[in-house]
Amino acid sequence: MRDLPQAVTDYIFGLTIEATRKRSPAYLLGDGEGRLIEFGGKLALYGINNPELGVHIDQQVEYLAGFLPLEGEPVVLPCLKCGDGVSTDLHIFSGEGGDWILFLESTEIEATQQEIQQHAHELSLNKEKQSRMLSQFLGDQVAQGLEDGKFDIKKGGERRNLTILFADIRDFTPFSENHSPQAVFRTLNIYIRSMMETLAGEASSLNAIVGDQVMAVFGIFSAAASHQFRAVGASLKMIEKVNELYEERKRWNLPALRIGIGVSSGPVAIGILGTKERKTLTVIGHYVNLAARLQSLASPGEILIDKNTYDNIRSYRRFFSPTTLECKGIVSPVKTFSNMGKN
Amino acid sequence: MIKKKVCMLGSFAVGKTSLVRQFVQGIFSDKYLTTVGVKIDKKTIELAGEEVQMMLWDIAGEDGFQRIQTTYLRGMAGYILVVDGTRRSTLEEAKNIFLRIDEMDIGSVPHVVFLNKIDLTDEWELKGEDIASLNEIEARAFKTSAKTNEGLEEGFLNLAEMMVKQG
Ligand SMILES: Nc1nc2c(ncn2[C@@H]2O[C@H](COP(=O)(O)OP(=O)(O)OP(=O)(O)O)[C@@H](O)[C@H]2O)c(=O)[nH]1
Ligand SMILES: [Mg+2]
């Protein structure tokens, strides 16, 4: 601080001393062999009662064993708690007279830090949980399939005719803002689980859960029925399951939400991304965007499908009727079909 | 009485605080309250007729932002690396902590690994090869549960024995 004027440094020191005084400073002084030769301040606050001069400090404050005599640099032990003592920032430093041990109360600092840390950790735990659930449902299966060469996808990627499904929980964002993170994730887990279980039974290969959204790709595993048929079958089942959940939760007075689904079908680029340990399939293209867009336009309980899908679902056609939508970002008007029969 | 300082180390939320609380007070809570800084507890055990006081330093877990404060480690006679068996990534993190301590040039310090939350069988993620890989860090592993108390006595005693042998 040499480049600051004396008046400024004096002022800063004044601030520091004032702030520090509020933190109930207390101290111990040890001689070259760690025996107590002086003490002062509210030591009882830190759980140190009746200090005895001449006795080794680490016999009186057991946790200091190994710290005294101090050799070299000062040591700081932030937010230390022991017994019934309050949280303290402990500073150990050599100075005039021997080794000084300074106690400064850190209850407030700790409380602030605690709040931030708790929030961050809970958030990370929830994120981890979500991605674990993903691999639990299909990640491993897809990864294994890739390993065994079950799906013959060319290394460099290729174009394939596939069906893409997007489903999300309607009105989840306002819901999540009005409930505790615990409640949000509990509800999210129940819903995502219900959607995923349906998908897993339909030979889809699942790509992602992003927040309150699920994406699935049909047509990678070979199966008897067309991928469009299976995707729409899965959609109808998902809606049915979630509707049951919705009614049930309403009966119990629990937060009840519904989902919207978008399905689209056509040629997309498919490739393998990832490392040796963890491979994932990725799809890119117009039809992926279209499915996502349709999903975003679907009302609660609604399935919106494009014409390519509609043309290939035979007996399921009776559930759908044409609807007109404004599809932002997609140039030509899209023929769309809905299970909710609106025009 | 022999006194030994033991540090509880590992990622956040693996169960360090819960293990100490179960071992010292015999209680467990499902509620997660993250540790800031360090909390020190004591527990006296008997080893071959001799009393050993373990001074347990329950240190804030590592996360994306915060590494272990190394000043806390000074004078430790042993340490426990805690892994959350339901979060596989915490195993790698524990190994990393070992490697960093190994680099600190404080000689070989007795240590054991606790593979914690063994009561959560449905969510258990560790496989045989994961556990075998602990050879890399020269550590014996104990499957523990801070909830049911499984494995705690054995794990802590094993470490105490190693520390006493070390002198
Ligand atoms: N089922 C089960 N839950 C456990 C076990 N051990 C800890 N938990 C839970 O896991 C969460 C985290 O436990 P803590 O003991 O606070 O973890 P920590 O390692 O001290 O975490 P930090 O202080 O943040 O580093 C709490 O919700 C505990 O109830 C266990 O053996 N079984
Ligand atoms: Mg803790």
- pLDDT tens for B44-87 read 999 989 999 999 999 999 987 788 889 999 999 999 999 999 99
- pLDDT tens for A292-303 read 999 999 999 999
**pLDDT, position B103:** 86
Phi, psi of A316, rounded to the nearest 5 degrees? -75, -10
By mean pLDDT, which of A247-256, B53-62, B65-74, B145-154 is the weakest?
A247-256
What is the average per-residue pLDDT within B104-114? Answer: 91
Closest CA to A202 of A185, A225, A184: A225
- pLDDT tens for A90-118 read 999 999 889 999 999 999 999 999 999 99
Indicate the Cα dihedral angle A125, A128, A134, A135, nearest 10°. -130
Q: Is B160's Cβ below 8 Å from some Cβ in A?
A: no
**pLDDT, position A251:** 85
Closest CA to A65 of B76, B87, B112: B76
On the CB side of A233, CA atoms within 13 Å amount to: 17
Best-predicted range by mean pLDDT (A178-187, A190-199, B149-158): B149-158
The Cα of A52 is separated from the nearest Cα of chain B by a number of Å equal to 21
Report chain B's C-alpha Rg in angstroms.
15
**pLDDT, position B136:** 87
- Do β-strands B111-116 and A98-105 pair in parallel, antiparallel, or remain unpaired? unpaired
Strand, coil or helix: A194: helix
* Nearest-atom index, ligand 1, CA of B11: 25
Q: Is A87's Cβ below 8 Å from some Cβ in B?
A: yes
Of B32, B36, B76, the CB nearest to A79: B36
What DSSP character marks residue A56? Answer: B
**pLDDT, position A254:** 82
What is the average per-residue pLDDT within A60-86? Answer: 93
Q: What is d(CA A256, CA A175) in angstroms, rounded to the nearest whole number?
A: 10
**pLDDT, position A190:** 84
**What residues of A are in contact with residue B76 (Cβ under 8 Å)?**
66
Contact A118 B34 (CB under 8 A): yes
**pLDDT, position A132:** 63
Ligand nearest to the CA of B16: 1
**pLDDT, position A343:** 42
* Nearest-atom index, ligand 1, CA of B12: 25
Q: Report residue A138's pLDDT band, with 50, 70 and 90 as the boundaries.
A: very low
Tokens 């049909």, residue?
A: A218
Just give the CATH number of A139-338. Answer: 3.30.70.1230
What is the average per-residue pLDDT within A192-206? Answer: 72
**How much of chain B exceeds pLDDT 70, in percent?**
100
Of B32, B37, B42, the CB nearest to A80: B37
**pLDDT, position A183:** 84
Phi, psi of B5, rounded to the nearest 5 degrees? -90, 130
**What residues of A are in contact with residue B71 (Cβ under 8 Å)?**
75-77
Show the tokens assigned to A111.
Answer: 């409380």
The answer for A253, left when phi > 0, alpha when psi is -120 to 50, beta otherwise, is: left
Burial class of residue B81 (count of CB atoms within 10 Å of its CB; 0-12, 13-18, 19+): buried
Phi, psi of A203, rounded to the nearest 5 degrees? 50, 40
Give yes or no for residue B147 having a pLDDT over 90: yes
Q: Report residue B160's pLDDT band, with 50, 70 and 90 as the boundaries.
A: very high
Interface of B with A in 3-32 (CB under 8 A): 3, 5, 12-13, 32
Q: Is B75's Cβ below 8 Å from some Cβ in A?
A: yes
Q: Report residue A29's pLDDT band, with 50, 70 and 90 as the boundaries.
A: very high
Report chain A's C-alpha Rg in angstroms.
32
Q: Report residue A330's pLDDT band, with 50, 70 and 90 as the boundaries.
A: low
CATH number at residue B6: 3.40.50.300
**pLDDT, position A290:** 92
Give yes or no for residue A222 having a pLDDT over 80: no
Give yes or no for residue A208 having a pLDDT over 70: no
Output A254 or A154, whichever has higher pLDDT: A254
**pLDDT, position A175:** 85
The rounded mean pLDDT for chain B is 94
- pLDDT tens for B18-53 read 999 999 999 999 999 999 999 999 999 999 899 999
The rounded mean pLDDT for chain A is 84
3-class SS letters over B17-69: HHHHHHHHHCCCCCCCCCCCCEEEEEEEEEECCEEEEEEEEEECCECCCCCCC
Of A78, A113, A124, the CB nearest to B63: A124
Give yes or no for residue A38 having a pLDDT over 80: yes
Closest CA to B62 of B118, B114, B14: B14
Q: Is B64's Cβ below 8 Å from some Cβ in A?
A: yes
In this structure, which residue's CA is closest to atom 3 in ligand 1? Answer: B117
In sequence order, the 6+-apart residues with CB closer than 8 A to the CB of A272 are A146, A153, A155, A157, A279, A280, A281, A282
Residue ranges making up the domain that contains B81: 2-166
In sequence order, the 6+-apart residues with CB closer than 8 A to the CB of A114 are B33, B34, B36
List the Cα angle A70/A73/A76 in 5-degree steps.
85
Just give the CATH number of A6-105. Answer: 3.30.450.20
Q: How close is the Cα of B101 to the center of ligand 2, in Å? A: 20
Q: What is d(CA B45, CA A82) in angstroms, rounded to the nearest whole number?
A: 19
Show the tokens assigned to A51.
Answer: 């200090």
Q: What is d(CA B138, CA B95) in angstroms, rounded to the nearest whole number?
A: 10
Output A257 or A326, whichever has higher pLDDT: A257
The string of DSSP letters for A270-296 reads EEEEE-SS-EEEEEESHHHHHHHHHHH
Best-predicted range by mean pLDDT (A216-225, A279-288, A332-341, B101-110): B101-110
**How much of chain B exceeds pLDDT 90, in percent?**
77
**Considering the entire predicted model, what is its pTM?**
0.67
Give yes or no for residue A40 having a pLDDT over 60: yes
The Cα of A287 is separated from the nearest Cα of chain B by a number of Å equal to 36
Output B3 or B136, whichever has higher pLDDT: B3
Q: Report residue A221's pLDDT band, with 50, 70 and 90 as the boundaries.
A: low
Burial class of residue A148 (count of CB atoms within 10 Å of its CB; 0-12, 13-18, 19+): exposed
The Cα of A203 is separated from the nearest Cα of chain B by a number of Å equal to 24
Give yes or no for residue B144 having a pLDDT over 90: yes
Closest CA to B114 of B5, B4, B11, B32: B11
Which alpha helices (DSSP H) does chain A contain, by range?
A: 6-21, 57-60, 107-134, 140-147, 172-177, 181-200, 227-251, 286-297, 307-310
What is the average per-residue pLDDT within A45-67? Answer: 95
Residue B80 bridge partners (DSSP): B8, B112
Distances (CA, A) of B147 to A314, A322, B43, B116, B144: 54, 57, 18, 9, 9
Phi, psi of A70, rounded to the nearest 5 degrees? -75, 130
Q: What is d(CA A136, CA A29) in angstroms, rounded to the nearest whole number?
A: 58
**pLDDT, position A2:** 61
Asked if the ipTM is above 0.85, the reply is: yes
Give yes or no for residue B111 having a pLDDT over 50: yes
What is the average per-residue pLDDT within A235-246? Answer: 91
Q: Is B39's Cβ below 8 Å from some Cβ in A?
A: yes
Domain ranges (residues) in chain A: 6-105, 139-338
**What residues of B are in contact with residue A117 (Cβ under 8 Å)?**
12, 34, 36, 60, 63, 66
What DSSP character marks residue A87? Answer: P
Of A76, A80, A121, the CB nearest to B13: A121
* Nearest-atom index, ligand 1, CA of B118: 31
Q: What is d(CA A116, CA A133) in angstroms, rounded to the nearest whole number?
A: 26
What is the average per-residue pLDDT within A8-27? Answer: 91
Ligand nearest to the CA of B143: 1
The Cα of B99 is separated from the nearest Cα of chain A by a number of Å equal to 22
